[in-house]
Structure 1
Amino acid sequence: MKKVGIIGGSGFIGSYITKAFLDNHFLVKVSTTAITREDKYKHLVTLNHADNLHISELDVMDKVALQDFVIDCDIVIHSGTPFILDVQNPQSQLFDPTIKGTENFLEVIIQTPGIEKVVFIASVAAWNTNFPMPAGTKSFTDTFDENDTPFTSTESHPYAQAKFIANQVVEQFIIDHPDLSYEISTVSPVLVAGKSMSQREDSTSTGLQFLIKNKLAPDAFVQALYDNDVPFAIVDVEDVAHAVYKVATTKGLHGKNYLLTSETYKITDMTAMLNNQEPKEKASIVYKNNLAKKELGIQFRPAKETLNNYSI
């Protein structure tokens, strides 16, 4: 049996990735930031084939611990960067663990024999740090795909800036090391939605869905989304996990970065669908998923199905 190491494998997206690999009979090693916090990973031990699952504590800032985590893996998935919107200290909460953590990971991986594939879970912010606002001079209705020039701004949210810079680190690493013995591929999901596998209440992804469903605005950032009825490109969490599995187990994708996205709806219609009501407007396609559909064979769920699923 092959072994996959999933950094952040007990999080909102990571849990579904863990399930995908267990379902396909991999040995799965999952990291958690605190092994004493069983609420972070207890939902994983009830999955099918959980006898092939091992939970390990890991701090991505610790290169020795990283080396120990990846040493016997065939595939490594990096889904362990923080997703925080209410930021008190951007440097310590976001920039250090996201950027330095990525640099540490790349340094460790290149020194580890036997690894066949590395997959990074980036973000739409790797392409546009203004998301869900348009990139640069684009409008809300202008389409965006992997052929567009990535856009970043120092005015963007620190989370988005950190993810953009981390992706640049990965791209430069690939350029600087043309003869790697393993492949590196990346996926960049838009707003990831759907039902959480865990009962944790500290997930930003599920928390944002809760806020939109109930029209709550704990800060100016979220209030601005309502005030402008901002359109969001949405992707189902299970589709993201499926794409990660496909990327991880398909050869010949070195250096690729796939946008993972389905349909776009305004916040008012997202609120309606999260409450099992019909949207007033039809879905639009802003962020395009042609590359993922063509090369990975992913058929993305309609956003309505995804948002209805959260409210079950």
Structure 2
Amino acid sequence: MKTIGIIGGAGFIGSYVTKKFLEEGFNVKVSVTDIKKSEKYQHLFNLTNSDNLNINPLQVENLEALNDFISDCEIVIHGGTPFQLDVDDPQKELFDPTIKGTENFLKAIVDAPLIEKVVFIASVAAWNTNFPLPSYGKTVTDTFDETDKKFISQESHPYAQAKFIANQTVDDFIAKHSDLNFEICSVSPVMVMGKSLSNREDSTSTGIQFLFKNKIAPNPFIQMFYDEDVPMAIVDVDDVANSIYKAATTSGLHGKNYLLSSETYPVSDVSLMLNHQAPKNKATIIYGNRMAQKDLGMKFKPVQETLNSY
């Protein structure tokens, strides 16, 4: 039985990743930032094969703790960066844990004795920090895929900038370490939606779905989505987990970063589907998924199916 370490394995996406690897017969180690807050990870013990689950406290800024966490892992998934839109201190709450945490993790994996594969859960922001708005020179109906030039703007949300810089850090690491004994690849999902496996109230992903369902705008950033009826590229959380599993268990993917996306609808249609009503517009494909289909064998769920499950 192989051991997989999942940093952030109790979050919205991470819980599905944990579920998938447990179902596939792995010994799964999940990191949590505060072991005392059992309400944030207790739902994982309801999963199939949870006897093979171990919960470990970990702060990614602590290199010694990181080394210990990954020391017995053949596979490591890094999805432990914060997804927050409302922040008081972007440097402390986003840039430091995302960028410095990634740098620390890269230091740790160099000397890890057993690692065969590392998968980073990045973000569409690693390709375009303007998401869901278009990158420079494109319109909202122009397509975007892994052949397009990556785009970052200082005017983008700090979360998006942090994810972009962290992904650059990974790319630079791969370029400088041509003699690694293991593979590194990344997945970059667009807006991840679907049903949560937990009852956590601090999930940004489920929170955004709640806002869109009820057309609530707690700040100007969210209000912009309604005012401009922004086209939103969406991917199912279960599809993201399956993509991560396939990326982790398929060889020959070193250095690749896969966009994970299904269909795109304007936010007005997203609101309708979250309320189990039919969309008024036809689905479009704005963010490409051909590379994930080809290399990972993925077939992405229709967005209406995803939103009806919320």
How many Å separate the matches in 1 of 2:140 and 2:238?
Answer: 26
Any residues of structure 2 matched to 1:15-94 within 5 Å, and which?
Answer: 15-94=15-94
How many Å separate the matches in 2 of 1:295 and 1:117?
Answer: 16
Three-state SS of the structure 1 residue aligned to 2:202 is coil
**Offset at 1:111?**
1.5
Any residues of structure 2 matched to 1:92-107 within 5 Å, and which?
Answer: 92-107=92-107
**Any unmatched runs of 5+ in structure 1?**
none
Instruction: Give the letter aligned to residue 253 of structure 1.
Output: L
Deviations 1:195-225 (A, max 9, x none): 0000001000000000000000001100111
How many Å separate the matches in 2 of 1:73 and 1:8?
Answer: 15
Deviations 1:111-131 (A, max 9, x none): 111100000000000000000
| Alignment correspondent of 2:238 | 238
How many Å separate the matches in 2 of 1:69 and 1:220?
Answer: 40
How many Å separate the matches in 2 of 1:195 and 1:37?
Answer: 22
**Offset at 1:78?**
0.1
Any residues of structure 2 matched to 1:253-268 within 5 Å, and which?
Answer: 253-268=253-268
Three-state SS of the structure 1 residue aligned to 2:309 is helix
**Offset at 1:46?**
1.0
Instruction: Give the letter aligned to residue 116 of structure 1.
Output: E
| Alignment correspondent of 2:136 | 136
How many Å separate the matches in 2 of 1:295 and 1:97?
Answer: 31
**Offset at 1:137?**
1.1
How many Å separate the matches in 2 of 1:54 and 1:176?
Answer: 33
Deviations 1:266-299 (A, max 9, x none): 0000000000000000011100100000110000
| Alignment correspondent of 2:305 | 305
Instruction: Give the letter aligned to residue 207 of structure 1.
Output: G
**Residue 279 in 1 paired to residue 285 in 2?**
no
Instruction: Give the letter aligned to residue 170 of structure 2.
Output: V
| Alignment correspondent of 2:213 | 213
How many Å separate the matches in 2 of 1:180 and 1:68?
Answer: 20
| Alignment correspondent of 1:116 | 116
Three-state SS of the structure 2 residue aligned to 1:187 is strand
Could you say what the CA RMSD is over the residues aligned between the two structures, in angstroms? 0.4
| Alignment correspondent of 1:126 | 126
**Any unmatched runs of 5+ in structure 2?**
none
Given the two structures, how large is their TM-score scaled by the length of structure 2? 1.00
Deviations 1:223-253 (A, max 9, x none): 1111100010000000000000000001110
Instruction: Give the letter aligned to residue 120 of structure 2.
Output: F
Three-state SS of the structure 1 residue aligned to 2:188 is strand
How many Å separate the matches in 1 of 2:80 and 2:219?
Answer: 25
Instruction: Give the letter aligned to residue 24 of structure 1.
Output: E
How many Å separate the matches in 1 of 2:42 and 2:207?
Answer: 20
How many Å separate the matches in 2 of 1:220 and 1:33?
Answer: 31
How many Å separate the matches in 1 of 2:21 and 2:48?
Answer: 10
Any residues of structure 2 matched to 1:151-230 within 5 Å, and which?
Answer: 151-230=151-230
Instruction: Give the letter aligned to residue 160 of structure 1.
Output: A
Instruction: Give the letter aligned to residue 50 of structure 2.
Output: A
Three-state SS of the structure 1 residue aligned to 2:31 is strand
Instruction: Give the letter aligned to residue 40 of structure 1.
Output: K
Deviations 1:65-123 (A, max 9, x none): 11111010000000100000011100000000000000000001001111000000000
% same residue: 65
How many Å separate the matches in 2 of 1:31 and 1:174?
Answer: 24
| Alignment correspondent of 1:290 | 290
| Alignment correspondent of 1:6 | 6
Three-state SS of the structure 1 residue aligned to 2:65 is helix
How many Å separate the matches in 2 of 1:305 and 1:286?
Answer: 18
Three-state SS of the structure 2 residue aligned to 1:246 is helix
**Offset at 1:163?**
0.1
Deviations 1:45-72 (A, max 9, x none): 0111100000001101111111111010
